[in-house]
Amino acid sequence: MLLSGRGSNFEALAEACDRGEIPGRIVLVVSDVPTAAGLEKARARGISSKVIGAGPRATRVEREAELAVALAESRVDLVCLAGFMRILSAEFLARWPLRILNVHPSLLPAFPGLHAQEQAVRYGARVSGATVHFVDAGTDTGPIVGQAAVPVLEHDDARSLAARTLPVEHALYVSSVRRVLEGGWRISGRSVNFPAPGLA
């Protein structure tokens, strides 16, 4: 798992793994921010953690080379981004096709990139939400695994909308990671098609 901040999505996934809701376990947490709260949360759970490319002089090539080694050494099957504020290169992503997931706080393709809730409020959207998608070389453009809607209320600002979206985001990430790890899905065009229940 890659994160840059407080690690709330990490906690949601870790707790779901502990409850057996996800058929897997988190083996490594990586951050580019040495003081990220998510790192402390990982250490408290006894999960291996690592800081990579935090210095201002670290280049993307150096950072991604170190990250690739760490992921390989930990035998990672699926990489989950949880508030990771670095853009991964197309070269790095090509080494992990359909094995990197991200959660984004909007109903993509609406409001990609930074400050999604602020974008939604400013645009006058009536519905926002969260999206889990495979990561590709674009900005929040990969095939969509799952989505969940959150209404935008009349007096919402970016902060209040974000606060209501966060628990929805957590639940969606848990269910999406579970479905991906259960297997049996396929990509058709831009659609991720999952098997009917009981047929995986």
Catalytic positions are 104
What is the number of H-type helices and E-type strands within the chain?
A: 6, 9
Q: Does residue 109 have a cis peptide bond before it, meaning omega lies within 30 degrees of 0?
A: yes
SS3 195: coil
Closest listed residue to residue 200, CA positions, set 181, 172, 187: 181
Spatial separation of the C-alpha atoms in residues 97 and 136, rounded to whole Å: 8
- Decide: residue 128, CB within 10 A, 0-12 exposed, 13-18 middle, 19+ buried: buried
Question: What's the distance, Cα to Cα, between the start and end of the chain in Å?
Answer: 25
> Are the C-beta atoms of 101 and 77 separated by less than 8 Å?
no
